[in-house]
Structure 1
Amino acid sequence: MPYVPHTEDEVRQMLATIGVDSVEDLFAEITEDMRPKSYDLPAGLSEMEVLSKLESMAAKNATDRVSFLGAGFYDHYIPAAVDALTMRGEFYTAYTPYQPEASQGTLQAIFEYQTAVTRLLGMDCANASVYDGGTALYEALMMAVRKTKRRKIIVSEALNPIYRVMLGSYTSNLDMEFVTVPHKDGMTDIEGLKTAIDGETAALLVQNPNFFGSINDFTDLFTVCRENKAVSIISSYPVLQTLLKTPGDMGADIAVAEGQSLGLPLSFGGPYLGIMTCTKKMVRQMPGRIVGRTEDSQGRTGYVLTLQAREQHIRRQKATSNICSNQSLCALRALVHMCALGELGMKRAARLSIERAHICAERLTAIDGVEMLTKGPFGNEFALSLPVNAFDVIAKLTARGFVPGFPLGKYYASLENGLLVACTEKTNEEQIGIFAEMLKGALI
């Protein structure tokens, strides 16, 4: 039942105080066509009946399918310790730690998370955190705009198209100029990006591995950014960052990532984790919470929120975004996941994922008419060119219990036959063999 604390007399007094006759008058601005047509809700059920109904609905979900779907979100193994620790009440119910004297545990956990992700990406500073990888990319873009006072953004078309849609939505009323440099058969056009950068550029946005799975070294490209006083922003895949050249080593100003692959289940799309890291010179533009370690008057270690540049901290119109819901629970999961695996465990997961992807690519390209779309090195994900429409193949194989990948034609009009295939350490060679046979049969 709803908790309604006010009596009818109290409601009348409140309405009289604000000068309206009824509760309905409070919604007068909402036109009739926008109002609910009916409140004809079903009758209430007992707890036992609700549980039974929800269990029957949940049973309709297909949880036994083998999936080669990636496109930015990956089915990595999550150690049992992640749930066991992060579901403890002191973490699970904690709110934003505004009062450091009562929140040292939460603040220390956030500080350790920041330390872990800066080491992972080779950067100086991190926050904790934003909503997801796309939001992190947008916030990085706005950091660049505030820093450079420019509005021109250079974007690689090989950047995750889901993120590019999000950027378009977030900036639709912000008078930004986006210059998108097309991909070349799934490869990032580095020379084209270099040519597009000029003295009016605020930021460059690239991804490694790119959306098609191809791996690049952007060191020279980021040098061109620095020469033009533009901000270089890279979106990374955290698991593979244990093996690849880090954004810091490439000279990136801001490195962001979708943290879902670090201990967060796919869960129908969230909640996820937007990892944000940057160089020290950019840290004052960073939104969200940043925890610092200090000492009190007695020399004891303490943790506090620092560089707080939100509107409630006096910054007013100069404030950064207020990421105030407790995303630190997702950050904590990422930290526990990384600690549970350790450096060797994370590298092993990355190597196995890459190894399985290369085995899979070899098996699939042995089928007549199936070719690699991209050339050059790739990680745990790769793009294929099929002899038929990829949507049709996906429909056929999914109905038989195998999700073969992501249809590139969904976002790239010229790639209707393109299929993006991903593997993780959970993918085994038996599954790859069955996938190859099923794909071969679907193409006959």
Structure 2
Amino acid sequence: MRYLPLTDADRSTMLDAVGAPSIAALFADVHPDHLQSGPIAGLPMHQGEMQVERHMTRLAGKNRPAGAGPFFLGAGAYRHHIPASVDHLIQRGEFLTSYTPYQPEIAQGTLQMLFEFQTQVARLFGCAVANASLYDGSTACWEAIQMAGRITRRKSAILSSGLHPHYAALVQSMARFSGDAITYQAPVLMAETDYAALAAQMTPETSCVVVQYPDILGRVGDMAALADAVHAAGALLIAVVTEPVALGALTSPGEMGADIVVGEGQALGVGLQFGGPYLGLFAVRDARHVRQMPGRLCGETVDTKGRRSFVLTLSAREQHIRREKATSNICTNSGLCALAFSIHLTLLGEKGLRALAAENHRLACLAADKLAAISGVEVLNTGFFNEFTVLLPGDARVAVRTLADRGVLAGVSLGRLYPDQPQLAHALLVTVTETASEDDIDALVAGLKELWP
């Protein structure tokens, strides 16, 4: 029996009730006309399974794996070595379908794993409480802004120019529907973060200030003074961490006074995955704010026999309470990705994470010194972790394309991230992790020397 519950008359009646001219009009904001491509060109139709497999294999062969050569891409998505045991463990039967435990009393393994994950994130971020994950870093950033608005009862947020432009774009898109006022501008090529100028933008209506740590130019700033200024204005400070490995070397945002710390957990355990799935991290420094946290939270208790057990706690999501009282419409967490993150971090341990961070920084400093020695090339940053901005004599996009043709992925052009900001066109964001060898660094240096001898 085919499941076709609605007639054309039913659809027409519902469209009339909501005031929409067509079903397509309901999706206009998320699927505008100029992005609709119609039928997929070149895809064989009505072929057998073997023929389709052959065709898809040929298409997949056009992809370039990250490990196929020197790789210096970053800007929010990082390549780190992931132990083989991570993939082995997450594929165990009890974890492979790790999802929302709708009957938590019989999902003790999943709940315990999420509880341990929350503990790791809270310690990493220097916070009191973390949730059981969100979709990704950018949506976690928006949820933090919404949370700050609920706490302060204000509707205006200031985004640092050092925030990743994709995060800023998502925030601006969501604010169109929430009514929040968002202040944001593209970064200026300065060696240091200008937190004083950011604090000067605050008004009595400011709910929060959002900074990235390290920021999109790779700069690392001390946000303690900014936190004091934000708190004096009655607002909250939100810190965004896109590279969690950095916290193996840097002071955590919570220790510097950030009220809400969010981030992207992809770098640990998850991998690049050609763009997803990723993992949103979310934590708060003040436990009194826990009731305003989005998503789900796992807690530890004892059962009727006094045995250690785990439960879902404070699940103020739209599927648990009346929709208008929900803190978030996020209906699940990234359980399997959170598990991979937790296993990887457990395998590293505190000493391992610190050693990994130290090796990232060592290699990045080596690369920065060698690049700075090239005539006409300048390293912008005075301080960084494993990512820094290089100023080139010409358009960075041309350099990226030319070196890619030679097998070297040189970095991310800021002209690509900010296509409407011509003053950033000659800036290249270079990321160096433990997966880059000294030979890889030499290949990058040699390639740039050929472009500007």
TM-score by length of structure 2 reads: 0.89
CA distance in 2, matches of 1:198, 1:397: 46
1:55 to 54, 57, 67: 57
Label 1:334 to 1:19 Cα distance change in 2 as closer, same or farther (>3 A).
closer
1:13-67 deviations in Å (ceiling 9; x for gaps): x66898799xxxxx993479x9998899722413x44433332222221222321
Distance in 2 of aligned mates of 1:242 and 1:28: 54
Q: Using the alignment, how far apart are the partners of 1:20 and 1:318 within structure 2?
A: 29
Distance 1:20 1:119 in 2: 51
Which of 104, 117, 138 in structure 2 is aligned with 1:100? Answer: 104
Corresponding position: 1:209 with 2:214: yes
* 8 Å contact from structure 2 (residues 72, 410) kept in 1: yes
Structure having the higher Rg: 1
Q: Deviations over 1:93-121 (max 9, x none)?
A: 13311212221110000000000110111
Q: Deviations over 1:378-417 (max 9, x none)?
A: 1101101111111111111011000111111231431111
2:339 pairs, out of 314, 332, 335, with: 332
DSSP 3-state at the match of 2:209:
strand
Name the residue aligned to 1:423.
432
**How far does residue 327 in structure 1 lie from its aligned partner after superposition?**
1.1
Deviates more, 1:56-65 or 1:251-260: 56-65
Match of 2:308 in 1: 301
How far apart are residue 316 of structure 1 and its match? 2.6
Name the amino acid aligned to 1:216.
G
SS of structure 2 residue aligned to 1:339: helix
Residue aligning to 1:247: 253
Aligned residues: 428
The 1:16–1:31 alpha-carbon spacing in structure 2 relative to 1, beyond 3 Å, is closer
Query: 2:268·2:344 contact (CA, 8 Å) conserved in 1?
Result: yes
Q: Are 1:43 and 2:46 matched, yes or no? A: yes
Please, which of 259, 270, 273 is the counterpart of residue 267 of structure 1? 273
CA contact (8 A) 1:154 1:181 kept: no
Q: Distance in 1 between matches of 2:387 and 2:103?
A: 44
- Ranges in structure 1 where 5+ consecutive residues have no aligned partner: 22-26
Residues 17, 132 of structure 1: alpha-carbon distance in 2 compared, 3 angstrom cutoff: closer
Contact conserved, 2:74 with 2:411, CA < 8 A, in 1? yes
Map of 2:30 onto structure 1: none
CA distance in 2, matches of 1:19, 1:157: 49
Structure 2 counterpart of 1:188, which letter? T
The one of 224, 234, 237 equivalent to 2:239 is 234
Runs of 4+ in 1 over 6 A off after TM superposition: 15-21, 34-41
1:164 to 157, 161, 168: 168
* Superposition CA RMSD, Å: 2.6
**What is the CA-CA distance between 1:422 and the residue it aligns to?**
0.4
Checking the alignment, whether the CA contact within 8 Å between 1:197 and 1:224 is kept in structure 2 is: no
1:352 aligns with 2:345: no
Partners of 1:166 and 1:422 in 2: how far apart? 24
Deviations 1:59-97 (A, max 9, x none): 221222321111111100000011000112221213311
Q: 1:362-373 counterparts in 2 under 5 A?
A: 362-373=369-380
CA distance in 2, matches of 1:355, 1:17: 65
Q: How does 1:143-182 map to 2 (within 5 A)?
A: 143-180=147-184
| Separation in structure 1 between the aligned mates of residue 395 and residue 100 of structure 2, nearest angstrom | 48
Q: What are the Cα deviations for residues 116-150 of structure 1, in whole angstroms up to 9, with x where unaligned? A: 11011110111111111111100000000111111
Correspondence for 2:320:
313
Once residues 125 and 10 of structure 2 are traced to their aligned partners in structure 1, the CA distance between those partners, rounded to angstroms, is: 57
Partner of 1:110: 114
Gaps spanning 5+ residues in structure 2: where? 13-19, 26-32
| Matched residue, 2:404 | 398
In structure 2, distance between residues paired with 1:358 and 1:15 = 63
Whole-Å Cα distance in 2 between the matches of residues 133 and 20 of structure 1?
37
Quote how far apart the aligned CAs of 1:214 are: 1.0
- Normalised by the length of structure 1, the TM-score is 0.90
CA distance in 2: counterparts of 1:396 and 1:20, whole angstroms:
53
Conserved? CA contact 1:151–1:202, under 8 Å? yes
Q: Distance in 1 between matches of 2:180 and 2:38?
A: 40
Change (3 A) 1:17 1:372: closer
Q: CA deviation at 1:181?
A: 6.2
- Gap change, CA 1:161 and 1:16, over 3 Å in 2: closer
Letter in 2 for 1:152: S
Q: Which moved more, 1:87-96 or 1:207-216?
A: 87-96
